[in-house]
A and B are shown apart, each in its own frame.
Chain A
Amino acid sequence: MSADTWSLYSEKVMEHFRNPRNVGEIENPDGTGHVGNPVCGDIMELYIRVKNSVITDAKFKTFGCGAAIATSSMITEMIKGKSIEEALKISNHAVAEALDGLPPIKMHCSVLAEEALRSAINDYLNNREKR
């Protein structure tokens, strides 16, 4: 049985689900985003390393469904090498599009990914102010 028999998700979603990129944590990250809650069944943690306002590394840890894992993986790929300003322009729709779409009922996972990114960037900006 191959992935394409699973019609709920696109091939791209399944590819990221099978081989998620950038799983793990960053030690002493410059920013951390923690979003979601156990009630809705998705929890995402996003860690970023920032140098000269450019995201040089991103990692994630996610408890959630196939779409939650795939969107986490995709967003880490999308933000690496981007400036903070560029990264802030990434919408949940852009993440879903990069995955060749998500089922309507799973769009909330892409929203969560966008929120995780914003939360990590806000954390970075707050940390920078404090220094």
Chain B
Amino acid sequence: MKRVYLDYAATTPTHPEVVTAMLPYLNDTFGNPSSIHSLGQEAKRAVEGVRKTIAAFIGAAADEIVFTSGGTEADNFAIKGVAYANEHRGNHIVTSSIEHHAVIEPLKFLEQRGFKVTYLPVDQYGMVDPQDVRKAVSEKTILISVMHANNEIGTIEPIAEIGTIAKERGVYFHTDAVQTVGHIPVDVNELGVDLLAMSAHKLYGPKGVGALYVRKGTKVAPLMHGGEQEQRRRASTENVPGIVGFGRAVELAQLEMNEEAARLIYLRDQLTRDLIEQIDSVRLNGHPRKRLPNNVNVSIQFVEGESMLLNLDMEGIAVSTGSACSSSTLAPSHVLLALGLLPEQAHGSLRFTLGRETTKEEIGRVLEVLPPIVAKLRSMSPLLRSRA
């Protein structure tokens, strides 16, 4: 059975050219960039080259890029770093109610330590209203953090508008761009952000490496203390092979991004249309147009997500769900609930995220396999009977 991978938002396969680019740095060019000898300096040159590549890709300067272990660390660094370095100026942070856990959890941690956080609501499509941001900002606000695009529902937030407000009010602005960098255009000046988190493995790079863009002059305390790497903003020997892979992934994205986005939007809309037409009681979650090119998130009524996911997996199709039967709270996705979905609709969600290897045939395979799965599960669903 041919495997159909439709979970690119979780992670992407490493591009073969990325692997090729990394190999020398796992073999002969193994030096520590902090070493003075030529082996070390060769590694250092590679790291600094990638720093320039990534900076140019998002309209930044090279010394505004700090490499991290991934998106989660970049978000933690931005949030805790700004909070600790600016607590003398205020203790208030504004965010949205649909952020990734890599943003929500550090904020909860700060709340336990005396910081105040405002979680802004979103509309039925998952969109933050920039005017809500304006109203929420006070004299004590030191940071605004709103994600560029949501990882579950794909909605793209009005970051540039929020950026203008942040600038007017003199408040630092962070965005989690883990789902957008390499997929849609990202320019830190057009977006008006001071901090921007990225992750390599979401754009066909390796796992375990990411970066935080930090606008010149932004006061951020380090998470990691130790050596003098990354201009003392992030101690630890650089993940040289990972950084090199990240750089190659960005170069490839630069070449292919626009064409690939157009191709995926076509497949995305086809999958959405077919799901709604061929299965009863299906709704699209997230914004119909202002969404990531590769994201389809639907709620299929009267059936539960994990049981659909398992059935699809048995057919070789990999997807994800906002149902959280296995989370310790048993609560479904906070993102879907924030849209106003009922718990049973949130539990009945499936997320398909498309990518480089997704074909029209694969979309067709989903439509062949899923309707009978839904029919089988509905035949055993007490929700359907109690409605009739």
Contacts and interface: CB of A to CB of B under 8 A. Distances in A.
A1 B1 contact: yes
Contact of A68 (B325, B328, B343, B344): B325
B237 interface: no
Contacts of B382: 34, 43-45, 61-63
A106 B331 CA distance: 14
A40 B328 CA distance: 10
Contacts of B383: 38, 43, 63
B366 to A, nearest CB: 16
A3 interface: yes
A24 B344 CA distance: 20
A77 interface: no
A35 to B, nearest CB: 10
Interface in B80-121: none
Nearest to A5: B313
Interface in A52-76: 60-69
Nearest to A59: B380
A66 B306 contact: yes
Interface string A1-31: 1010010100000100110100111000000
Nearest to A72: B380
B325 A65 contact: yes
Interface of A: 1, 3, 6, 8, 14, 17-18, 20, 23-25, 34, 38-45, 60-69, 103, 105-106, 108-109
B307 A65 contact: yes
B189 interface: no
Contact of A17 (B303, B310, B330): B310
Interface in B322-345: 323-328, 330-332, 342-344
Interface string B1-45: 101000000000000000000000000000000000000000000
A45 B325 CA distance: 18
B379 interface: yes
Given A39-B331, A43-B382, A105-B326, A63 B313 contact: no
Contact of A41 (B1, B3, B304, B379): B304
Contacts of A109: 325
B380 A61 contact: yes
Contact of A63 (B303, B314, B324): B303
Given A1-B313, A66-B307, 15 more contacts: A1-B1, A1-B3, A17-B310, A34-B382, A39-B330, A41-B324, A41-B325, A42-B304, A43-B383, A45-B382, A63-B304, A64-B325, A65-B310, A66-B306, A106-B326
Main secondary structure of the interface of A (DSSP, over half): mixed
Given A1-B3, A62-B380, A38 B344 contact: yes
Nearest to B385: A61
A106 to B, nearest CB: 7
Most chain A C-beta atoms within 10 Å of own C-beta, residue among B306, B323, B325, B328? B325
A107 to B, nearest CB: 11
B380 A18 contact: no
22 contacts: A1-B3, A1-B313, A6-B313, A24-B380, A34-B382, A38-B342, A38-B343, A38-B347, A39-B331, A40-B330, A41-B330, A41-B332, A41-B343, A43-B382, A61-B381, A61-B382, A63-B344, A64-B304, A64-B307, A66-B307, A105-B327, A109-B325
A24 B148 CA distance: 46
Give the 10 A-B CB pairs with smallest separation, nearest first: A65-B325, A65-B306, A38-B344, A61-B382, A41-B347, A40-B330, A45-B382, A38-B343, A39-B343, A23-B380
A41 B303 CA distance: 10
B77 interface: no
